[in-house]
Amino acid sequence: MTGAGVDEVAEQTGTVTSDVGATGRRRLGRRQITGVLFAVLGVILIVAVAPSITSETKSFAFESPPDPLQFSFSPPTLIVAVGVLYLLSAVAAFSPQRFDGWAGRLHLFSAISAVPLIMAIALGLSGSSSTNVTNLLDESLVLATPVALGAMTGLWCERSGIINIGIEGMMLASAGVGFMSFALLGAASSVAWLWVAVLVAILTGGLLALLLAVLSINFGINQIVAGVVINLFALGLTGFLRSEVIVPNGNSKGLSTTEFGVPLLSRLPILGETLFQGKPIHYAMYAVVGLTWLVMFRTAWGLRVRSCGENPHAAETLGIDVITVRYQAVVVGGFIAGMAGAWFSLESQSGFEDNMTNSAGFIALAALIFGKWTPWGAFAGALLFGFARALGSRLQFLQVEIGGFGIPSEFFQSLPFVVTIVVVAGALGRSIAPAAEGQPFRRSK
C-alpha cells in the first residue's frame, strides 16, 4: 500500500498509523486527537478545578417552585466524576480498532456530560444554590427556532446546488418588512393584521430568494457574492425602514403571537410545559423540519432536488428541468427564511431593531454543516447553538465570579460564536457538501 493509501485509511478509521517516508514519524488520527483533548481536560478538572470549587451542596431543579423535584450534589464530586470519565474516554481513544464503536459511544457520552459539568462549575462559582434545568431546556428549544429554520433554508438551497450565504439577509429583511406591515396596517395592535404581517414576512423571504435564484441561475453570478449582496441590501433596507417608517409611525412595539399549550400534554410533569407549550412559529419549526425530511428524502420531487445538487447534467439526461427545480427549491427555502424573520419581530420581541437577527443566518449555515446537510442533523446543530445562547444567559444570571472577579457579559454573549467556530472546525473533513454545490448550470440543448 502506498503512503497516500495508508494516510487515507488512517483518516477514515481514526487509528494510529505510521507515515511511509524517511522521517518514520507516527501520526495521530482524529479519534486519538480527541482522546488527548479529553485527557488534558480530565487532568485539569481533577487537579485544578475541583479543589478550587466550594463543597457547599448545590442542586438542579426540574420543576418550578414551591416544591420542585431536585437533584442535590457536591460540585467537586461531580467535577471529579466527569474528569474520570474524560480520562476513560482518552484511554478508549487508543483502544484497538475493533472497539471503535464503544469508544465512539463513550466519547459522545463524555461530550454530553459537558452540560451538567458547566452548570455545576457555574453554581460552584456563584452564590446561587440551585438552577432550573427544565427552564434551560425550554430556552434552548425556543432560541433554536430561527437557527433551525435558517438551516432548513440552507438545506433546500444547497441540496439543489445553490449556495445561500444570504440567509441572514433574508431573515433580517423579512423581520423588518413584516413588522413594518404590522405597524402601518394594524397599528401593531390587531391580531388579524399580525397574521397578515407574518404572511408578508414569509413572502419577503421568498422574494429575496427569487432574487438570489435569478442572480445565480440566470446570470451565473458567483453565488457567494450574490448572497453577500442580499445581506448588504437587507441591512440597508431595514435600517431605512426602521428610521424613516417604523419609528416615525410611533408603533415601535406591539402585540406578538400568543402562547398556547397542547391540552393534557402541557400538564405533564417536568417536560409538559417545555415540549407542549409555546408559540405558533416555534411549533411550526418542528413541522418544517419534519416536512423537509419527508419531502426531501421520501418523495420523487425531493429526489429530483437532490439529484440537481449532486449531478445536474445526469439529472437533465433523465428529463429533469434542473433550472426549474433549482428555482423551486431556492424559493421554498426563502419562504422558510421569511418565517424565521417573522419569529424575530412578530413572536420573540414584538418589535424591530437594527440587525436584530444577530448573525443567526450564519450560525444556521454552521448547523447545516454540522448536520451533514440532513434535516435532523441540522436540527441537532440548531439545538446545540440554542443551548449555547441559553447557557450564556443563564451563566450571566447566576453572576458567576472567579476569584471575586465578575465575568463580563460580553463573554457569555460570545458563546454561540465560539461554539460555531469549534463545530465548523470539527465538522471539516467529515461533512461532504452536495457535489454540484455552487456550480453554475447551463442547459445542454
CB 119 within 8 A of CB 73: no
10 Å CB burial of residue 218 (0-12, 13-18, 19+) is exposed
pLDDT at residue number 112: 86
Cα dist. 124→140, 219, 323 in Å?
22, 58, 58
pLDDT at residue number 144: 94
pLDDT at residue number 124: 85
C-alpha cell at 73: 450534589
pLDDT at residue number 155: 96
Q: Alpha helix locations (H) across 57-129?
A: 75-93, 100-112, 114-124
Written as tens digits, the pLDDT of the chain (445 aa) is 444 444 444 444 444 443 344 444 556 777 788 888 889 999 999 999 888 888 888 888 887 777 778 888 898 999 999 999 999 999 988 888 887 888 888 888 888 888 888 888 888 888 888 888 888 888 999 999 999 999 999 999 999 999 999 999 999 999 999 999 999 998 888 899 999 999 999 999 999 999 999 999 999 999 999 999 999 999 999 999 999 999 998 888 888 998 888 887 778 877 777 788 889 999 999 999 999 999 999 999 999 999 999 999 999 999 999 999 999 999 999 999 999 999 999 999 889 999 999 899 999 999 999 899 999 999 999 998 998 888 888 888 887 777 666 677 777 778 778 877 777 766 555 678 899 998 888 887 6
Q: How would CATH label the architecture of 144-427? A: Orthogonal Bundle (1.10)
Q: What is the CA radius of gyration of the chain?
A: 24
C-alpha cell at 262: 397542547
pTM, whole model, 2 decimals? 0.86
Ranges of each domain in the chain:
3-124, 144-427
C-alpha cell at 35: 482522546
Sort strands 26-27 and 17-18 into parallel, antiparallel or unpaired.
antiparallel
What backbone phi and psi angles, to 5 degrees, belong to 100?
Answer: -60, -40
What distance in Å separates the CA atoms of residue 172 and residue 340, rounded to the nearest whole number? 9
∠ Cα 336 341 346 (to 5°) = 120
What distance in Å separates the CA atoms of residue 139 and residue 129, rounded to the nearest whole number? 20
> CB-based contacts of 405: which residues, under 8 Å, 6+ apart?
none
In sequence order, what are the beta bridge partners of 59?
Answer: 72, 130
pLDDT at residue number 404: 65
Among all chains, which residue has been given the C-alpha cell 388579524? 192
pLDDT at residue number 19: 39
